[in-house]
Every structure is written in structure tokens, then in C-alpha cells.
Structure 1
Amino acid sequence: MKKNIVRAVAAAALVLLPVSGAMLAVPASAQLGGIVHDPRNYSQNILTAARTLEQINNQIKQLQNQATSLMNEAKNLNSLPTSTLGTLEAQVDQTRQLLAQAEGIAFNVSDIQKGFEARYKGGALTGSAAEMVANAEARWKDSVGAFEDAMKVQAGIVTNMGGTRTSISTIVGASQSATGALQAAQAGNQLLAIQSQQIADLAAVMSAQGRAEMLDAARAAAAEAEGRERFRRFRKGN
């Protein structure tokens, strides 16, 4: 018992050591049951464990961000489930067919040259009286047919408006629910295609209308030239 007391007093004495007339406090290691507890080492271990946990949390967040990024990239690669290409192609084909049905002088350079040579100038205006009558009737048929063709094209384009409206509604709805950049871009491309189809329809109407007006103007000019020829023959006959 006396030995244990002496040891305790000696341990307490080691805690306070004289340094230059002052007392310096030194942390003592607690010993219980043969196990030594160092407070400084324990605190360091706690700090190290906290830092390690923080690093693990940061790594988990990085992995989560990478997973989110991969999911977004996957969405950006999804194609738009809706397409109006078939409808647009059908509308364009319909307009082209209406233009191709043009009677008399068609939308073709060689046909125009042949038609004008045969009925609107040259020998067509200086032939016999029977030839003049036949050519005048052919020119009248060209003009009437051209206006009929223009009206058919206009009617076809008016019919296309219903399909165009449906296509626009479909694509706008699909673009509003687009889940990625690719779907949004494809929706924009389809809207541009619809706009291009409308511009093509407008060009077709203008072409058909212009053809009708030019043929009618050519008919009037040919009739005037033919009238002068008839008058010349009449005066020569007298």
C-alpha cells in the first residue's frame, strides 16, 4: 500500500517541473489497467478520421455528379419520336404533280420555245387564214388552261394548309416535351422543313399565276400582230 502511494506521488510530481522559477504544465498520459491514454494522439486520430470522412463524401458527390452528367448526355442522344417528314414529302409531291399537269405550254424551256414558235410568232402570224384561226384558238386554249392550272395549284396549296397546321401542332408539342438537345434540334429542323415547304408552295403559286399572266399577255400581243397582218392583207386586196 505504501509503495502504491509513493508511485502516485511520484507521477504527480512529474506533471509539474520547475523551469526558470516557473511551473510548466505537461500533459500526463493516463494509465488504467495497463492501458495508456494519450489525449494528444486521440485528438489527432479524431481529426484524421474527420478529414478522411470528408474526402469520402466529396468523392461520393463527384460520382453522383458524373452519373447525372452521363444521364443528361444519354438524354441528349435520344431521337425525337415524332416525324412529319412523310407528310411534308407528300404535300410537296402533290404540288409538283399539279405543276406537271400544266396543259398547252408546260413549265419546260424547250416546250416554251416550241409552243411560241408554233403559235405566237413567226409563221404562226403570217400563214393562211385557216392557220391564223387555228393558231388563235390554240393561244386562247393556252391562256384558259394556264389560268385553270393556276387555280388548281392554289386549291392544292389551300388543301395542304390543314396538314401543315397539324404538322406544326405536332412538332411544337414534341419540342415542348423534348428531353435532350438532340430532340430539341430535330424539332427545330422539322419546323424549318415545314417553313421551307410553305415557301415552296408560295413559289409554286407565283409560278403558276405568272405563267397564266404571261401566256395571256403573249396571246394579246400575238392577236395584235395578227390583226395588223389581216389589215395589211385587206388593204393589199383592195
Structure 2
Amino acid sequence: MKKCPIHRLLLAALLAGTAGPATLMSSPALAQVGGIVHDPRNYAQNILTAARTLEQINNQIKQLQNQATSLLNEGRNLASLPTSSLQELQAQVDQTRQLLGEAQRIAFDVKDVQAAFNQRYKGPALSGSHAAMVANAEGRWEDSVGAFEDAMKVQAGIVGNLGTTRQSISKLVTASQSAVGALQAAQAGNQLLALQSQQLADLTAAIAAQGRAGALEAARNAAAEAEARERFRRFRKAD
């Protein structure tokens, strides 16, 4: 029994599709089914082209995803820190400066210090009349008492700042640990540095106030010693 022509064409197409590259190149097989010509070599080329096109599309999708991720990261890096301790720090510094500005009798001013020392601590102040010497001695005592009181006020103000400082540290450390970008982390670090500067300013104020009190007390003792010598000289002269 003879095979029909359609069976022969299908068999030829199957053999052509399974043939090796050399067979395809040397003698490309053509099949015609229902009036449509099938070229296995052209079909394989189309498949390869479609695969390459799909790969290019996948690569473009990955590039777009990477660009989107990069933009999101840039957005996070540009995000500003939602918290700020600047006002609290400025208020603490202003309070300390106010306490220093309220210094009694001899202020933290070079001209004021010079005038007070010329008036009560040296020269004619130690060799005037008995009444003037008594008045100057009382003035020096009041300078020392006022300076020690000022130092204690400054110290009390700085101690009072510790509670606010602790809250600021906690808030800034939390903000730094939860920073979502480089800008937020940098801003948190800058505010921590500002807080440290404020603490150094408080420490400087305390040292200055304490040093002022100590210096005035030392000056009072020196003036009292000089005044005592003058009184002794006058006593011997009277004899």
C-alpha cells in the first residue's frame, strides 16, 4: 500500500527539523503543508532572534529597576532630619550668658576690672585715710562675696541644664540610629557636636566664674596684707 503525499511531506519536515547544522547548511529541507512552505533553518533563526530580543528586554527592565532603586536611595540621602535641638541648645547658652552678665560689682569686662582694682585693691586705696581704708576693705569683701555668689549661680544654672541636655542626647542618638539617608545621619551628627559645644561653653562659664571668685579672694587677701603693713607703719610712726 502506497503512502499518501501528505505523509511523505510530514516525514520530510520531521527529518529536516531533527537534522544537524551541517545538514541544514548543506541542503536545507523545505516542506509544504496545506500550501504553506516551512523552512526549518529560517524557523530556527527566528527562534534565536526572538530569544535575543527577550534577553535585551529583560536587561532593559533590570536597568530601569536599578535606576529606580538609585533614585529612591538618592531621595533618602536628601531627606532632612525631622528633629532639631537647636532651639533648646540656644536657650541653654543664652541662659548661661545671662548669668554671666548678671555678675555683681566687678563684671566680666577688662575695663571694669581695671577700674575696680585701681579704686580698691592697690595704690591710694591702701594708703588713704583710716575711713577710706575701712571703706575699701569693706568694698573688697563685698566683691569677693558677690563673686562667690555669682559662681554658685552659674554652677546651679549649668546643673539645671543637665536634664534638658539628657533629653537632647537621647533624641539625637535615636534620630541618628534611625536615619534613612546620609543627610539625616550628617545632620544628627552635627547636632550632637553642637550639643557638645554647648556643654563645653557651660564648662567654660563655670571655670570662668569660679576663677573670678578665686582671683578676687586672692586679691582681697593681698590687699589686706598690704593694708596691714601700712597700718603697722603708721603705728610705729606715731610712737
> Number of matched residues?
222
Amino acid at match of 1:112: V
Determine the C-alpha separation between the residues in 2 that align with 1:25 and 1:218. 116
SS of the residue corresponding to residue 80 of structure 1 reads coil
SS of the residue corresponding to residue 180 of structure 2 reads coil
Q: Tell me the residue number matched to 2:76.
A: 75
Q: Tell me the residue number matched to 1:187.
A: 188
Superposed counterparts of 1:81-160, under 5 Å = 81-160=82-161
Q: Tell me the residue number matched to 1:224.
A: 225
SS of the residue corresponding to residue 202 of structure 1 reads helix
Q: Does 1:178 align with 2:179?
A: yes
Deviations 1:109-136 (A, max 9, x none): 0000000000000110011000000000
Determine the C-alpha separation between the residues in 2 that align with 1:190 and 1:33. 82
The more displaced of 73-82 and 150-159 is 73-82
Determine the C-alpha separation between the residues in 2 that align with 1:36 and 1:165. 86
CA displacement at 1:25 relative to structure 2:
7.0
Determine the C-alpha separation between the residues in 2 that align with 1:134 and 1:53. 103
Deviations 1:135-163 (A, max 9, x none): 00000111111111111100000000000
Q: Which runs of 5+ in 1 are unaligned?
A: 16-23
Amino acid at match of 2:62: K
Q: Tell me the residue number matched to 2:203.
A: 202
Determine the C-alpha separation between the residues in 1 that align with 2:142 and 2:160. 27
What TM-score do the two structures reach when normalised by structure 2? 0.89
Determine the C-alpha separation between the residues in 1 that align with 2:188 and 2:65. 30
- The sequence identity of aligned pairs, in percent, is 75
Once superposed, which parts of structure 1, at least 4 consecutive aligned residues long, lie more than 4 Å away? none
Determine the C-alpha separation between the residues in 2 that align with 1:138 and 1:224. 15
Amino acid at match of 2:191: Q
Coordinate RMSD, CA, aligned: 2.1
Deviations 1:154-173 (A, max 9, x none): 00000000000000111111
Determine the C-alpha separation between the residues in 2 that align with 1:168 and 1:43. 70
What TM-score do the two structures reach when normalised by structure 1? 0.89
Determine the C-alpha separation between the residues in 2 that align with 1:81 and 1:31. 74
Deviations 1:60-101 (A, max 9, x none): 110111111111111111111100100000000000011111
Determine the C-alpha separation between the residues in 1 that align with 2:29 and 2:146. 116
SS of the residue corresponding to residue 32 of structure 2 reads strand
Q: Tell me the residue number matched to 1:36.
A: 37
Determine the C-alpha separation between the residues in 2 that align with 1:104 and 1:127. 22
CA pair 77-25 structure 1, distance change in 2 beyond 3 A: closer
SS of the residue corresponding to residue 113 of structure 1 reads helix
Amino acid at match of 1:42: Y
CA displacement at 1:27 relative to structure 2:
3.6
